[in-house]
Structure 1
């Protein structure tokens, strides 16, 4: 049986094994496991990955982090954007954005908020 309490952050999975009629009733094990529900908000690493494919985001990175952008000139744009994000945030993998609080803060301060501001100042239609 799966029950999800309203407004709860977890779901409970309860499995009960019933003994057959000929077996003793005291052999009925009960197992309970708690599983975290997936957040409705996408993980920052996933957002960063999607943005790295966006030409508008790539253009922003090439302006804001020109030296890093030039440093990775042998990579294609999507991989280049990912390398710039990793370097700017001081991480080896974008997945660290989900597990490292300081990396997440650096991303938001150096990339996330400035990109949002840049995008708004360019009318959201920069190629």
Structure 2
């Protein structure tokens, strides 16, 4: 089984910049809270589901990965 998205989501949750992006100007969050947000946004119970559920994978790319990378690169 390919685990690329699960691994990416785990790395993102540990990344301080990602957690800052998730809350923008709000209070900081920890890794566990970042995981909860990803699971909720993607509609899954586990980050492993990102690699087995095509709809969840699409939501991860569209709502999490792409916007975060654009923010990180300074794009609007």
TM-score, structure 2 normalization = 0.86
Instruction: Report whether the alignment pairs 1:98 with 2:51.
Output: yes
Specify the SS of the correspondent of 1:121. Answer: coil
Q: Residues of 1 paired with 2:40 and 2:68: CA distance? A: 16
Higher relative contact order (CA 8 A, sep 6+): 2
| Structure 1: gaps (5+ residues) | 1-37, 123-127
Match 2:42 to one of 78, 85, 89: 89
Q: Give aligned pairs, total.
A: 74
Rg larger for: 1
1:46 matched residue in structure 2 = 7
Higher strand share: 1
TM-score, structure 1 normalization = 0.53
Instruction: Report whether the alignment pairs 1:117 with 2:66.
Output: no
Q: Residues of 1 paired with 2:60 and 2:8: CA distance? A: 11
Specify the SS of the correspondent of 2:47. Answer: coil
Structure 1 vs Structure 2 CA RMSD? 2.2
Aligned structure 1 segments of 4 or more residues deviating by more than 6 angstroms? none
Q: Residues of 2 paired with 1:80 and 1:109: CA distance? A: 20
| Structure 2: gaps (5+ residues) | none
Higher helix share: 2
Match 1:61 to one of 13, 17, 22: 22
